[in-house]
Amino acid sequence: VTAEKGGFDHFMLKEIHEQPKAYRDTMLGRINEDGKGVHFTDLNLTKEQIKNIRNIQIVACGTAYHAGLVGRNIIESLAKIPVETDVASEYRYRSPIIAKDTLVIVVSQSGETADTLAALREAQANGAHVIAVTNVVGSSIARDANDVIATLAGPEIAVASTKAYTSQLIAFYLLGLYMAEIRETKTTEEIAHILAAMDSLPEQVEQVLTQAPIIKEYAEHIAQHKHLFFIGRGVDYAVVQEGSLKLKEISYIHSEAYAAGELKHGTLALIEEGIPVIALATQEDVLEKTLSNIKEVKARGAEVMVVSYEERREELMKSVDKVLSIPRTLPLLTPALSVVVLQLLAYYASLALEHDVDKPRNLAKSVTVE
């Protein structure tokens, strides 16, 4: 069994460590040799159709839904197409407005999630072209979709999804850049610049992984708490939603992820002496705003840990209790690094509480019932 786990104690830890490879494999063969563009040779969706897309609906469940939340930021910022992201179990029953030029993207690691499959069928019945971003090319979702973008994360065994999520992010970056090129919303230079930054991601994930001992120490500390909060703005908000799910799923510690600016609209009432608040502060255009939200919780006795850039450590330590850092990358690419910190945090919290990391209670790897 240890051999299957490649020498790691759990599949989840093995899969966390496989992310640099999963990034490389998902990018491989899709980036032009000159590094200035992206190609999807297997996409049935024509360039003409891409030019005409009026809106995009991303539909998925759980962690794949969280990848879709980042996907919305990615596509809107790169290709300037309005995007909505829905959980599949809600999408079907809210009579979504699907027009002729609506593109639907379903995201599913397993390709077998019943709600996501049903959403795909609903979208197709309304005339939408559906792209499936999936890790299993022979799956029901891959079979039924009009197009498939395969994430090449390799088999994912742990119930808590890690490398599939980050590979889904890579798929969204590539798709966003591809659409940006066709719709001329980004210049060749801008696209090349982003691709160059993406090229460094696998190595940067390795750097995040070397911080495991400090993350473990902090995880052992939060494992003593029953409730905690995650906050962030922009893509950081999307990432903390995933971090919160990961922690709940395997450590059974209750947490809530909040858009940092929304705290004062109710949630601040729950902040009391000693409660841990984990803030993601990688988006420098809103850093001041996030810092002022951090002050709001600090003033009410919260103990704050921030994930940001190393260069910010000194400044941040004036207002927070702990800083964990990620290597410098472009603002849009930070989720591919920051989420790794939160995955390790969830893993070590679960370990500290002696839970079954790979098989959390009440959960199945693939939910094939509605």
* Residue closer to ligand AGP (CB basis): 64 or 277: 64
Which three-class secondary structure string do you get for 31-82?
ECCCCCCECCCCCCCCHHHHHHCCEEEEEECHHHHHHHHHHHHHHHHHHCCC
Instruction: Using CB under 6 A, pick the residue from 161, 290, 325, 329 that binds ligand AGP.
Output: 161
Interacting residues of 139 by C-beta distance below 8 A, sequence separation 6+: 108, 110, 111, 112
CB-closest chain residue to ligand AGP: 62
Q: Does 71 bind ligand AGP (CB under 6 A)?
A: no
Is 261 in contact with 270 (CB distance < 8 Å)? no
Choosing from 5, 36, 359, 365, the catalytic residue is 365
Build a one-symbol-per-residue string for 230-259: x at contacts with ligand AGP by CB under 6 A, - elsewhere. -------------------x----------
C-alpha 228/C-alpha 295 separation (Å) is: 16
Q: Which of 19, 26, 63, 255 binds ligand AGP (CB under 6 A)?
A: 63
Piece in contact with ligand AGP (CB under 6 A), picked from 35-43, 153-161, 223-231, 344-352: 153-161
Contact between residue 231 and residue 293 where contact means Cβ atoms under 8 Å apart: yes
Query: CA 146, 85, 101, 73: dihedral to nearest 10 degrees?
Result: -110
Q: Which two tokens stand for residue 277?
A: 């608040």
The single-letter DSSP state of residue 146 is S
* Residues in binding contact with ligand AGP, number by CB under 6 A: 15
| Options 4-12, 108-116, 306-314, 335-343: segment touching ligand AGP (CB under 6 A) | 108-116
Sheet holding 102-108: strands in order across?
83-87, 55-60, 102-108, 129-134, 147-150
Least distance (Å) between residue 241 CB and ligand AGP: 11
The candidate with the shortest Cα–Cα distance to 343, out of 326, 330, 322, 331, is 326
Cβ distance to ligand AGP smaller for residue 224 or 368: 368
Q: Which stretch binds ligand AGP (CB under 6 A): 29-37, 41-49, 103-111, 219-227?
A: 103-111
Q: What are 151's two structure tokens?
A: 């994430």
Alpha carbon distance 80, 56 (integer Å): 11
Among residues 109, 282, 308, 334, the one that binds ligand AGP under rule CB under 6 A: 109
**Segment interacting with ligand AGP (CB under 6 A) among 76-84, 104-112, 180-188, 300-308:** 104-112
**Whole-number Cα distances in Å, 277 to 73, 101, 200:** 24, 42, 30
21 counts as catalytic? no
Among 12, 16, 61, 257, binds ligand AGP (CB under 6 A): 61
Q: Which stretch binds ligand AGP (CB under 6 A): 55-63, 73-81, 180-188, 351-359?
A: 55-63
Nearest residue (CB) to ligand AGP, 160 versus 277:
160
Non-local CB neighbours of 43 within 8 Å, separated by 6+ positions? 131, 147, 149
62 binds ligand AGP (CB under 6 A): yes
- Three-state SS at 158: coil
CA distance 177 to 1: 41
Q: Give me the 203-232 binding string for ligand AGP, x by CB under 6 A, dash otherwise.
A: ------------------------------
Q: Which of 113, 282, 308, 329 binds ligand AGP (CB under 6 A)?
A: 113
Q: Does 140 bind ligand AGP (CB under 6 A)?
A: no
In the three-class reduction of DSSP (H, G, I as helix; E, B as strand; rest coil), residue 305 is classed as: strand
Among 50, 58, 59, 64, binds ligand AGP (CB under 6 A): 64
Residue 270: CA atoms inside 13 Å, Cβ hemisphere, count? 16
- Tell me the one-letter amino acid at 187: T
Among 22, 27, 160, 194, binds ligand AGP (CB under 6 A): 160
Indicate the DSSP class of residue 331: G
Which residue numbers are catalytic?
A: 365
Q: Which residues are near ligand AGP by CB under 6 A?
A: 61-64, 108-110, 113, 116, 159-161, 249, 366-367
